[in-house]
Amino acid sequence: MTLDALRAAHPGFEGEVRVLVHGGTCGHAVGVAPHGGFLRQSAGDACAEAACDGACWAAPAATVLRPGHSHRFARLDETGVEPLLTCLAGSCDARADDRGEREHRGGLMSRLGRTDGTLAGALAAGAYEAAARALAMAPAEVIDAVEAMELTGRGGAHFPTGQKWCFATGGEPPVLVVNAEEGEPGVFKDRHMLEGDPHRVIEGMLIAAHATGATDACVYINGQARRARAAFEHALAEAAEAGILGGDALGAAVALTIEVRSGAGGYVCGEETVILNSIEGQRPVPRFKPPQITEAGLFGRPTLLNNVETLAAATLLFDPPAAPPKLVPLSGAVARPGLYEVAVDGQATWGSLLEAARGGAHAPPGVGSLLVGGPSGVFVAAEQFDEPLEMAALGAGGLVALAPGGEANVTLELARYNARESCGECTPCREGTVRLVELLEAPSLDRPKLDELIDVITEASLCQLGGMAGRPIASALATFPQAFSNGAAGAAE
Amino acid sequence: MAKITLNGAEIEVDEGRQLVEVLKEQGVAITNLCYIDGLEPYAGCRTCLVNIEGAPGPPGIQLSCTSRTVDGMTVDTETPAVKQARQQVISLIDANHPDRCLTCHRRVHCMPGDICLRDDVVSHRCLTCAKNYRCELQIANEMLDMGEFDEPWVGEERSYYETAPPEPDRANPYLEFDPQMCIICTRCVRACADIRHTDAITLAGKGFQTRIAFGTGGAVHESDCDFCGACIDVCPTATLMEKPNKWVGRADEWVSSVCNSCSVGCTLAYGTAGGRPVIVRPDRINPVSREQICVRGRFGYTAVPERDRLTRSLARRGNNLLPVPAEEAVADAARMLTAVRREHGSDAIAVLGSPLATNEEAYLLARLAREALGTQHIDFSHGAVHRAVTAAFRDGLGSERLPASLTDVEQTQTIVVVGGDIEQSHQVISLRVKDAVVKRGAKLVLVSSRWGELVPFATAWLQPSPGHEAATVQALARALSDDPALAGQPPAGVDGDALATATETVQAISSNGEDAAGFAVVFAPDAVSSQRASDQARASANLAIAARGDEAASSLHYLPTDANVHGVADMGVAPGDGARSFAEIIAAAQAGEVRALVIHGDNPLLNAPGSDDTRTALESLDALVVIDSVRSTAGEHADVVLAELPFFARTGTLTNADRRVVRSFAAAGPRGEERPGIEILSALANALGGIFRYDGAADVTADIAEHVAGYVPFLQVASGRTRVLEAEGVAGTTRLQPVAAAGADAEPGAGLTVLTGRSLFTSWEGASIRSEQADQLHREESAVINPRDAEAAGVRDGDEIVLSDGRHELRIAARFDDGVAPGSVYVPHYYDAGAVMALFPLDGGTAAPRVQVRALQPA
């Protein structure tokens, strides 16, 4: 079978005009259902549910798609559905928001929340084109192409993906494990991808499996991300049914079995060896290395572990963007929190990113600083906003914009988070993170003790989550020393 | 070999070893609170930090437990940076742990820890920890000069003492669990899972709330815990400790001894204080048990409270047994025995030895019988079972002294276990079988008519109807050989699929059966029916022969029930030619032909089947002389009871299941007029006109070495390595033997077949005196009955029931468990001082007793 035949077998929506109601976690959290119900009554078959398209701020929202015209109607709760119905009727209000059009030109987010969630919809929007081409190539050529696009691990460590795949070849075929835990606050890119474009993730997995010889895979989805899991499992079932998994629907036979597993949650469950323990049914604690998981990982087998976004980005290998794309979940004190795709081209700055999210009427008083990388992250002060973005500095990508003066409070909250989320395996993290909170809660800050404690937690912890537990505190102390003159608790009051 | 530089000195070590073990071997004082020697590192405590250069990985401060030696590495353990890093980590542990032992201003007065200020409330910081000066955390603090190190993270006002500690668990008689002392090193979790394969301990909660939990987090005794104490041995703090003598567990000296509660003969180290044992640790001498023991070894010495021990000899005065001076008791005994001999002849006297006694005592007892009393009627209550087995081995394998070594079991690829529940009867062997399964991927075939903890480890569990064990083993042998001697009926009760799996498993050994590591049969007969033991022994020998041919004797392991069965038999505690066996002695006593009986350390009312007969026999004797450390139920019928030291206070040797001679030294002095068995037996023999001149146990061992083949003098016993075997080996003389067909299954309505066996938690001595504390955990005080049978009899789980065979009634609580096959009921052997033994026939025949079950009518 060929991709064309596959498309023919899965015809999508055939009408001219389509209304996509953005459900997903974002839409349902703010009550999109009644609006969707109303639209379904009005538009009938032309109305379908899609996931969030990354404009989380816009929810509840719906998009009208017609040839040459894409128009998202944001905040249906405020504006009502009248303007949308007007647009649907053919006379579009020029003042309506049209950002949707600009944000969806190519790249990782091109299909995100833009299809009706079916395989047919995804195929119509270009899904599995890259996989079909990759499967026709020799594995080594695929790896070369991934190396050429300079793809790096989007889980935050930014290890070259091509190199990682290359290590996985040669010996016993690896088991592919996909990290979709994304447990840290402020990061929601993988969840969006699984909800809004699950076929891109499956496509990336097929490419990785073809490149490395993996024949089985396990996707570890955050136990609380129920919609993401449901959407992915639905896509998985459709792909299997269509012969994309285990058949030759893409022109070449692939034998990849994909299982989905979920843990019971916890920040530490995003650490790669914890994922393996959790899948195996062990207590979710990290393993020490060596052995590296590429030698002995899941059930002792050689293991290739990639982030959802990394695999999604791998689908761009035949048409790589000029600058490496990065999904950036941005939240906090901005008018338009949501998922942004940033070209890390040396031109983009923290400021330009914030500008995109600033928004008109909803603009908050201003952003004092950015927290980059969540509970293991660092603070970027306003003075640094015109510095260019670098991939390594972005980590997993989570950005939280903070109003001026909120740093001490956030620092304390992060310390509490790290203490709460410590798995308890190693002494420095288990015992030390609690003492960090105590020192920050103390009426006056004992800097020498705090510095020493951060030092021992950083140096002696078993895994990187413990090792980086003191990082935001150290960053806050260095960036906003005046905010801690009376201790974190004092400043927060 | 790798050359490494350790603290400036160049040394050669094996390449690729765990660095922390090398450091310890080199005498470097290194804190390591979570590492267990020999296991994979856990790397959780982070206290074994050292500076490493010239190894893979970034140079600098690294853990020594996860680092392995490589050529050219430089290791520094004492640089200021290393020391500070270790201090910082330890101080984090200290911040959530009681520290009075380090900070008490009077602590210098406690040194070296053998007095403690807790009895003398002069300071608010008095010690409240039972592990003072035995605690690894305390030692780690002292090693790192933490006394001079600021407690950096918490002040006094926020310290450990300000929060209510979690509740300790003191609800069971063996193990105290005090979580406030826990530092989450997880050694206990790993010891329980990786060393004992029990998995009773887990981690609950996360982060700072992480806690050790037993089972699902409830009381220890409600979990799967077997109270082996492996967790106690590895616990660095006072979190897991023995309940008995917890507060006096600091030993003055350590004595190497042996456990006599089963035939594994685990070597124990008794820590003693004030002339009595206060703590037990595994002694590594026995190469099978090594660093592991079971609950009976660790706590057996506490099973009989001191007040229940016999500290003075007793003699019958009128209707009462009254304390008398030891000399008077011996004189009484001698006078009565002499009188019987004078009036009825030597044949009217019989002697019973104990399979729990030392070789030296057994040797003297045999001499006493034959020389001083002139009788050949000497046996012990399980003697017939043992002789049935040894006869089977002589017939099939050419010798009873099998060269198979239990040290091989954990290396074996295919293991067939034949017997009851060896997890309960011989726990450390069960552990080695599990080791083979878990660590070596061995295949286990289990032949047992009831469930045991080995079942989950088995590739196939064959559950024959009671009495069909031998036929089942024979069926396995048939799978390997078509010799007509192996012909027989298919075993009753065995599931067809399980038998097919088991057959495939044993047939697969042809590829790995070339050496002793390929195949093993572990055979543990129950000590009730000699005929059944004989059949099972023959079938087991057949299976070994079918698998290994002339090398069969190297693959067959025989586990007698009691500790020194081999030794006692070797010493001559067995009827001479034409003389009476135990059952015949009892029958003769009932008939008035045997008029006097000397019993050393045995209790036939507890140990032997047919206890009704035994009781009437004991009652009809003219003279009954009992030598024992407790006032046993048999002793109640005695005319004279001579007070012996308890086993752990005696010196001597045992010959264990492996025919290894292990030495046991006295771990306690006498109380009252207790005397060693050797002294008592010598005194009695001399009072009867003998000339026994022995100066201690070693003197007797010298005599044994001279007269018993294979034995050596005391000082030449390489304890645990000296084995009493055939001088020539026994290969090449094998013969397959037919096995008697099992009896037909009883008619429906004939009642339930009674099974019994040795249970894990019950003490022999406690049962022998009918002590309420014989089963301190109360785990063995119920009959295990299949729910199907119970419901048919109108019995509910937990009901008091009555088992009746028409002549006896046994009252016991019912416990539902489908681990016993329908049609059978299991009653623990030691329940109610061996009450179940009354149901079994004295002669050891195969006919299993059948009982009707009914619920006890409420009064």
Give the model confidence (pLDDT) of B234-274 as tens digits: 999 999 999 999 888 778 899 999 999 999 999 999 999 98
pLDDT at A102: 45
Give the model confidence (pLDDT) of B655-684 as tens digits: 999 999 999 999 999 999 999 999 999 999
**Residues 97-126 of chain A whose Cβ lies under 8 A from any Cβ of chain B:** none
A438:B205 CB<8 A: no
Give the model confidence (pLDDT) of B143-195 as tens digits: 888 765 555 445 444 456 677 888 999 999 999 999 999 999 999 999 999 99
B153:A460 CB<8 A: no
Residue B841's contacts (CB-CB under 8 Å, 6 or more residues apart) are: B609, B610, B847, B849
**How does DSSP classify residue B554?**
G
pLDDT at B121: 46
Which of B85, B154, B207 lies nearest to residue A420, judging by beta carbons?
A: B207
pLDDT at B150: 55
Q: Does B203 touch chain A (CB under 8 A)?
A: yes
Type of residue at A6:
L
Q: Which site among A420, A449, A456, A464 would you substitute to test the B interface, given the most B Cβ atoms closer than 10 Å to its Cβ?
A: A456
pLDDT at B438: 96
Side-chain-side CA neighbours of residue A200 (13 Å) = 31
SS3 A127: coil
Which of A268, A439, A459 lies nearest to residue B61, judging by beta carbons?
A: A459
Residue B820: strand pairing partners: B450
Residue A35's contacts (CB-CB under 8 Å, 6 or more residues apart) are: A21, A60, A62, A76, A77, A81
**Which residues of chain A neighbour B92 with C-beta distances below 8 Å?**
427-428, 431-432, 435, 456
Give the model confidence (pLDDT) of A310-321 as tens digits: 999 999 999 888
Chain B: closest CA distance from residue A380 (Å): 29
**Which residues of chain A neighbour B93 with C-beta distances below 8 Å?**
427, 431
In 10 A of CB B805, how many CB atoms?
16
Q: Does A452 touch chain B (CB under 8 A)?
A: yes
- Interface A-B: count of C-beta contacts within 8 A: 92
pLDDT at A237: 95
Residues recorded for chain A: 493
Query: Domains of chain A (ranges plus CATH)?
Result: 12-117 (3.40.30.10), 127-314 (3.40.50.11540), 325-402 (3.10.20.600), 407-492 (1.20.1440.230)
Q: Does A424 touch chain B (CB under 8 A)?
A: yes
pLDDT at A203: 96
Provide, rounded to the nearest whole percent, the portion of chain B with pLDDT above 70. 93
Provide, rounded to the nearest whole percent, the portion of chain B with pLDDT above 90. 76
pLDDT at A300: 92
Please report which confidence band the pLDDT of residue A157 belongs to, taking 50, 70 and 90 as the band edges.
confident
SS3 B624: strand
A427:B93 CB<8 A: yes
Q: Is A67 in contact with A73 (CB distance < 8 Å)?
A: no
Chain B: closest CA distance from residue A414 (Å): 15
B46:A449 CB<8 A: no
- H/E element holding A456? helix A447-460
Q: Where are the beta strands (DSSP E) in B259-301?
A: 267-273, 276-282
Q: Peptide bond before A60: cis, by omega within 30 degrees of 0?
A: yes
Tell me which range, A74-83, A85-94, A128-137, B745-754, is most confidently predicted by mean pLDDT.
A128-137
Determine how β-strand B640-643 pairs with β-strand B623-628: parallel
Residue B320's contacts (CB-CB under 8 Å, 6 or more residues apart) are: none
Please report which confidence band the pLDDT of residue B511 belongs to, taking 50, 70 and 90 as the band edges.
low
Please report which confidence band the pLDDT of residue B744 belongs to, taking 50, 70 and 90 as the band edges.
low
Which of A424, A438, A453 lies nearest to residue B207, judging by beta carbons?
A: A424
Side-chain-side CA neighbours of residue A231 (13 Å) = 31
**Which residues of chain B neighbour A435 with C-beta distances below 8 Å?**
92, 95, 153-154
Q: Tell me the C-alpha to C-alpha distance, in Å, between residue A308 and each of A51, A153, A205, A244, B496.
A: 17, 10, 9, 19, 49
B46:A423 CB<8 A: no
Give the model confidence (pLDDT) of B382-427 as tens digits: 899 999 999 999 999 999 999 999 999 999 999 999 988 999 999 9
Which of B45, B46, B210 lies nearest to residue A424, judging by beta carbons?
A: B210
Helix axes A471-479, A407-421, angle to 10 degrees: 170
Any idea which residue has 């795709």 for tokens? A341
Q: Is A307 in contact with A292 (CB distance < 8 Å)?
A: no
**Listed residue (A71, A16, A27) closest to A51, CA to CA:** A27
The C-alpha atoms of residue A103 and residue A55 are separated, in whole angstroms, by 9
Locate A280 and state its tokens: 């195996």
- The region of weakest confidence among A443-457, B458-472, B842-856 is B842-856
- The region of weakest confidence among A141-150, A342-351, B468-477 is A342-351
Torsion of CA B186, B189, B192, B193, to 10 degrees: -120
**Which residues of chain B neighbour A438 with C-beta distances below 8 Å?**
153-154, 158
ipTM, two decimals: 0.86
Which of B89, B152, B207 lies nearest to residue A427, judging by beta carbons?
A: B89
The C-alpha atoms of residue B770 and residue A173 are separated, in whole angstroms, by 64
Q: Is B132 in contact with B181 (CB distance < 8 Å)?
A: no
pLDDT at A488: 59
Chain B: closest CA distance from residue A469 (Å): 13
CA angle (A178, A182, A185) in 5-degree steps: 175
| DSSP string over A144-187 | HHHHHTT-B-TTTT--BHHHHHHHHSSSSPPEEEEEE---STT-
Strand order in the sheet with B74-76: B9-13, B2-6, B74-76, B49-53, B60-63
Please report which confidence band the pLDDT of residue A324 belongs to, taking 50, 70 and 90 as the band edges.
confident
pLDDT at B158: 44
Q: Does A150 touch chain B (CB under 8 A)?
A: no
- Calculate mean pLDDT across residues A415-422: 94
**Which residues of chain B neighbour A430 with C-beta distances below 8 Å?**
184, 207-208, 210
Residues recorded for chain B: 859
A428:B92 CB<8 A: yes
A283:B208 CB<8 A: no
Please report which confidence band the pLDDT of residue A161 belongs to, taking 50, 70 and 90 as the band edges.
very high
SS (H, E, C) B571-587: CCCCCCCCCCCHHHHHH
Please report which confidence band the pLDDT of residue A357 belongs to, taking 50, 70 and 90 as the band edges.
confident
**Which residues of chain A neighbour B66 with C-beta distances below 8 Å?**
288
Reply yes or no on whether the pLDDT at A140 is more than 70: yes
**Which residues of chain B neighbour A288 with C-beta distances below 8 Å?**
41, 43, 63, 66
Q: Is B450 in contact with B820 (CB distance < 8 Å)?
A: yes
Q: Does B66 touch chain A (CB under 8 A)?
A: yes
Give the model confidence (pLDDT) of A458-485 as tens digits: 999 998 889 999 999 999 999 998 888 7
Type of residue at B830:
Y
Give the model confidence (pLDDT) of A372-411 as tens digits: 988 899 999 988 998 998 888 888 888 999 988 888 999 9
Helix axes A447-460, A471-479, angle to 10 degrees: 140
Give the model confidence (pLDDT) of B82-138 as tens digits: 999 999 999 899 888 887 777 766 666 666 665 554 544 444 445 568 888 889 999
Reply yes or no on whether the pLDDT at A201 is more than 90: yes
Reply yes or no on whether the pLDDT at A142 is more than 80: yes
Q: Is B71 in contact with B19 (CB distance < 8 Å)?
A: no
Give the model confidence (pLDDT) of A55-107 as tens digits: 999 989 999 887 777 888 888 988 888 888 888 887 775 544 454 444 445 68
Q: Does B202 touch chain A (CB under 8 A)?
A: yes
Give the model confidence (pLDDT) of A242-262 as tens digits: 999 887 888 887 789 999 999
Helix axes B582-590, B383-397, angle to 10 degrees: 140
Share the mean pLDDT of chain B. 91
- Calculate mean pLDDT across residues B808-816: 94
pLDDT at B114: 57
Q: Does B207 touch chain A (CB under 8 A)?
A: yes
Q: Is B107 in contact with B215 (CB distance < 8 Å)?
A: no
Query: What does residue A277 show for φ and ψ, rounded to 5 degrees?
Result: -60, -40
A435:B154 CB<8 A: yes
**How does DSSP classify residue B169?**
B
In 10 A of CB A240, how many CB atoms?
16
